[in-house]
Amino acid sequence: STEEALLAVNNIEVIYNHVILVLKGVSLNVPKGGITALLGGNGAGKTTTLKAISNLLRSERGEVTKGSILYHGERIQDLTPADLVSRGVIQVMEGRHCFEHLTVEENLLTGAYTRRDGGKSVKDDLEMVYSYFPRLKERRSSQAGYTSGGEQQMCAIGRALMSRPETILLDEPSMGLAPQLVEQIFDIVKRLNEEQGVTFLLAEQNTNVALRFAHYGYILESGRVVMDGAAADLRENPDVKEFYLGMS
């Protein structure tokens, strides 16, 4: 490809608990300004790939034992998740981790913690997040734990946006949401990509929706990339149609 990768994952292997080999040589290129989808069924290794990039495997007794992960051409494997956030890479975890006892707005403000410029720009960013998620503005004073699944997903993405990320790793945004809400969330992802220039790498089991919104896709099976291509080509591919597009 002529597009230079912003994020490059080169042939990584991931092992859990010293013995369970889960990623068996995964390579991906994520171009700047794109939406790249990581597809595949349950247990294929999507979450593991995202956590390898954001260095969140250690707490699960997992480690990258081979290969390299480069961001802007530099190795990022030894950086802490917080260092990565300050370099512009943030993960939105599966299951929309919001602080349940905080209000929606307090949750959003926790996302600004890595910024060095206090005051005005945080307020501006809050308004920016509310402009994409008007529903969050309406619910700003509600305790996050009492908001709906869709609102919590919005809150998790909104909180990530508060760190002014260059790249968001988004894990299974459709999980547990009604189709109409899934569509809304993906519409917002697309707008954030086009209007704010945010690069996305998103893991999705919902191949249908992911391939409509992404530019490029990688399909994982049992810890290996079995196919990759432009989203439009994957949508027309007979194997993808048979094995993935029927599912969701």
Interface residues with ligand ATP (CB under 6 A) are 16-17, 20, 22, 40, 42-48, 60, 62, 203, 205
Q: Which is nearer to ligand ATP, 45 or 173 (CB)?
A: 45
Least Cβ distance, residue 52 to ligand ATP (angstroms): 9
Contacts 24+ apart (CB under 8 A), 187-195: 188/132, 188/133, 188/154, 188/157, 189/35, 189/157, 189/213, 190/35, 191/132, 192/132, 192/161, 192/168, 193/33, 193/34, 193/35
How many angstroms separate the CA atoms of 175 and 178, rounded?
A: 9
Q: Which is nearer to ligand ATP, 147 or 206 (CB)?
A: 206
How many angstroms separate the CA atoms of 158 and 160, rounded?
A: 5
Q: Which is nearer to ligand ATP, 45 or 165 (CB)?
A: 45
Least Cβ distance, residue 172 to ligand ATP (angstroms): 6
Least Cβ distance, residue 171 to ligand ATP (angstroms): 7
Residues 6+ away with beta carbon under 8 Å from 181 = 149, 150, 153
Whole-Å CA distances, 72 to 32, 76, 174, 175: 10, 9, 29, 30
Least Cβ distance, residue 53 to ligand ATP (angstroms): 12
Q: Which is nearer to ligand ATP, 16 or 243 (CB)?
A: 16
Q: Which is nearer to ligand ATP, 29 or 206 (CB)?
A: 206
Least Cβ distance, residue 12 to ligand ATP (angstroms): 12
Q: Which is nearer to ligand ATP, 56 or 128 (CB)?
A: 56
Of 222, 220, 219, the closest CA to residue 211 belongs to: 219
How many angstroms separate the CA atoms of 37 and 203, rounded?
A: 6
Least Cβ distance, residue 154 to ligand ATP (angstroms): 21
Least Cβ distance, residue 64 to ligand ATP (angstroms): 13
Contact 165, 89 (CB under 8 A): yes
CA angle 205, 160, 203 (to 5 degrees): 15
Q: Which is nearer to ligand ATP, 44 or 202 (CB)?
A: 44
